[in-house]
Amino acid sequence: MPGIPGMSESDAPNRWIDDSQDSPSDGDKVSSSEARLVHSARLGDQDAFRELVQRYERRVARVIGRFISDQETIADLGQESFLRAWERLEQFDPARRFGPWLFRLAINLTYDHLRRARRRIRWSLFSDASRDRMPDPQVGDPRNNLDLAQEVQLVLAEVPEAYRTVLVLRDLEGFCTSDVAAVTDRSEATIRWRLAEARRMFREAWERRERRGLREDSDQSPENSE
């Protein structure tokens, strides 16, 4: 399985800095200029940190958007990611790269949000208010109106977090294996193994969803409704 259905790796650049003015061939120059910005930001230079935000904000938002579809939530989590980075800059190891550290913060915040959302949903399912609400038979299955990106997001949710992160970063965002290893703080060998497992899990979940859809279509066909 080369990637996720409907998503092209060629659409995602294999660089940390998506919106930098630097040329892709100037990797060392980018790294050194970023190191200077991080150093200045750690000394309290807000302008330096603002430039780091400008370099990363669109890519951070895009990564968060692989897990969450609501644009307002994506924006809030993106802002929170940078706020947390600013507050924790003293804890950042300048011997490491800033990008992986930032994306790890963003992904952790995103998973925290998803876990809170799941707890709220479970609570509402057992609340007194929800017991009296019955599904409206006139309302069609909302899955029929999902586009491919939403379908992918729903299937991704069935993949365990550790594997989902690798799949999103590697196959959807085009990060190289070493970058994914840096974000997740795992070895490259572990990342390659998890990627293979994640692709298998995604493929199986996708096929299960397709089979469910075929069964539902069959159950709703005129021959079966008589």
Residue-wise pLDDT tens digits, 178-213: 999 999 999 999 999 999 999 999 999 999 888 876
Domain residue spans of the chain? 15-125, 149-219
Mean pLDDT score, 52-60: 95
On whether the pTM is more than 0.85, the answer is no
- pLDDT bin (cut points 50, 70, 90) of residue 135 is very low
- C-beta separation of 66 from 156 below 8 A: yes
Q: How confident is the model at residue 31 (pLDDT cuts 50, 70, 90)?
A: confident
Fold equal for 15-125 and 149-219: no
Percent of the residues in the chain that have a pLDDT greater than 70, as a whole number: 68
Element spanning 8, H or E: none
Question: Considering only 39-53, 92-106, 113-127, which range has the smallest mean pLDDT?
Answer: 113-127
Predicted confidence (pLDDT) at residue 3 exceeds the cutoff of 60: no
Following DSSP, what letter does each residue of 88-105 receive, concatenated?
TGGGS-TTS-HHHHHHHH
DSSP H helices in the chain:
27-42, 46-65, 71-87, 98-125, 128-131, 148-156, 161-167, 177-184, 188-219, 222-225
Contact yes or no for 176/191 (Cβ under 8 A): no
What are the CA-CA distances from residue 180 to residues 37, 104, 115, 173, 189 (Å)? 23, 10, 22, 10, 11
Q: How far is CA 164 from CA 6, 147, 152, 170, in A?
A: 17, 20, 12, 10
Place of tokens 């007194």: 128
CB 9 within 8 A of CB 210: no
CATH architecture for segment(s) 15-125: Orthogonal Bundle (1.10)
CATH number of 149-219: 1.10.10.10
